[in-house]
Structure 1
Amino acid sequence: MVWENELNERKRTILKSIIDDYIQSAQPVGSRTIARKHELGLGSATIRNEMADLEELGYITQPHTSAGRIPSDKGYRFYVENLMQIHSLAKGEMVIIRNAMDEKIEEINQLIRRASNIISNITGYTAVVMSPQLSKTVIKSVQLLNINERRTLVVVVAGGGIVHNRLINHEKTIGNIHIAKLNQAFNIIISGKTIDQISMPMIRDLQKDMNIPSEVVMPIFEAIEDCVRKIETADVYLDGITNILNYPEFNDLIKAREVLDLLKEKDIISQLALETSKKQLDFRIGSENEINEMKDLSIITTIYGREGKDMGTIGVIGPTRMTYGKVVSSIKYIGELLNREIIRMFGEDP
């Protein structure tokens, strides 16, 4: 940032003290508190003058005339880029996370749901995890199963234990011979290919080479296409939505309801995650968020997955007064464990 040279070492130390104290207490921080708690070798008057400078520069604000100071969004931004200490997770926390992630799960979306729950429990905030966009995932098989003469179950199986299915109702009777021919043809064309190698027009050309009525073939084509699209589409998982109510910033019921309603809008949260999905570590702090209901919230995200293949996003949404250092260490550690499990699940894929 252009203003990172505005602060000398003394101002930086005082700003860090204010933010660390405010994160812990949720109370405005005064000069006497800093002088007493942090042993900076400075008197209250000197600290008060430095705080006046920090306020004039926009790093802190005074919520009430007689109160101490609280960080501004600009102050938090400077903090995460220059002052924040990444705290190592406690050994007990690491054991809890590792044990939870070590329970062998063979389906990627179940793994991601587990990660979301762990992040929420460890940080105390709202966790958001977006599954990888699996365009590089290999389709392992297509299975057509006749339920009866007019109903067929289409099952598409992909790497990472992903299975999607769709039930088709036929207008006319379809025999097992047709089903067997289609099963063989689809698996020749689709099995072993990644999603981005599959051409739906190519699949539709099959009909020209098979003596099977179009009213039988087309619904199956469409069902396979729908299953492949669902595999490729990223899902978003949220955990701990109501955790926001544990913080005094949201004691106001109207404000709390607005935030809770926002967090329930998965399309909006998905878009927020997508906007940060190309960065190893991203912070959106308060007013940096375009959505009005997010102005008192911060979102921290990082990416995970197989480098160059299928990348997803994990993150945390909480008040701007969040424990940034602990959140970063938590999502990074869980991201590393997710990477390990994803490699295990997809390791056999090219």
Structure 2
Amino acid sequence: MAASLFDPIRLGAIEAKNRILMAPLTRGRATRTHVPVEMMATYYAQRAGAGLIISEATGMSAEGLGWPYAPGLWNAQQTEAWKPVTDAVHEKGGKIIAQLWHMGRIHHSSLNEGKQPVSASATTAPGQAHTYDGKQDFEEARPLELSEIPRLLDDYANAAENAKKAGFDGVQLHAANGYLIDQFLRDNSNLREDEYGGSIENRTRLLREVTDRLIDIWGADRTAVRLSPNGATQGVDDSNPEALFTHAAALLNERKIAFLELREPGPDGTFGRTEVPKKSPAIRKAFNGPLVLNSDYGVEDGQADLDADRADAISYGRPFLANPDLVERFRQGAPLNEGEMKTWYSQGPEGYIDYPTLEEQRAEA
């Protein structure tokens, strides 16, 4: 008999009380120096009913974080400020892991002391970057030098160590959505001719090396990875995505990571649209660990993918924005609150910690 969304699941060393995970959701509530603030503890604690919370994408270095007011994990002040957040989640009986984020070319120099963004190759992302001075055109990135790769790996390791000090239950490597790792993975953004470019084995080298560094610190059973095996995503694409992403899944399978999350947005999704047929069935064959699917799910189609053995759990993003008690609403078949897009990335509590629970709504009725 297939598992229910409400059944517990073991994700490596993490015991999740249900299979409804909270996907990473950028909210822009930290300070200009990327330090978490007090109301973030309230926000995450409100959502501790999720089987596991994957934190909003969190910068692993100043070089890697190109989003205004997003939190970081590269210095002591940021690390200390995350502690009340993880404590609040744990006090509510929840689990939370930190998603480590390097945006690569999806970055503007104004957010990093005027320094040019870095990527696999000298390419420019389409569109515009979010900055403290409004939207600005993306700039051409410079290719990371071979001599810089060890430093990049050290930056990831430093953030992973800080995540442990901050009280997280594990880490997830953000290797999706056209950010740095994805820029190395796909052949239209990776034009390198060294050991990090060309063949699929070479283009997945950085993914492998970063994952190994995270495993060194956390163990494989508390290390997860997010991939987006879809079409063009913030300008990155690949000529043979099934071959690429099944190879990536196989190398992660060899490492026995806690779980693999796949982001497969629909035709109206953000950060890319999933090609038909989806690559997740082929990835399912290459990866034997827990597989988590994400993007545009409701309760019925989420359960359908568990029933069909296409996934072991489902991660929900936007429904969690306006529904802190999403799991309970799903369990009761209750209506969902509608979210306000204008407050997704604003700095105040409005549209962040003021959405009512089902119990609160019924008490007011």
Give the TM-score taking structure 1 as reference length: 0.25
Task: Judging by fraction of residues, say which structure has more helix.
Answer: 1
Give the TM-score taking structure 2 as reference length: 0.24
Tell me: higher relative CO, structure 1 or 2? Use CA pairs within 8 A at least 6 residues apart.
1
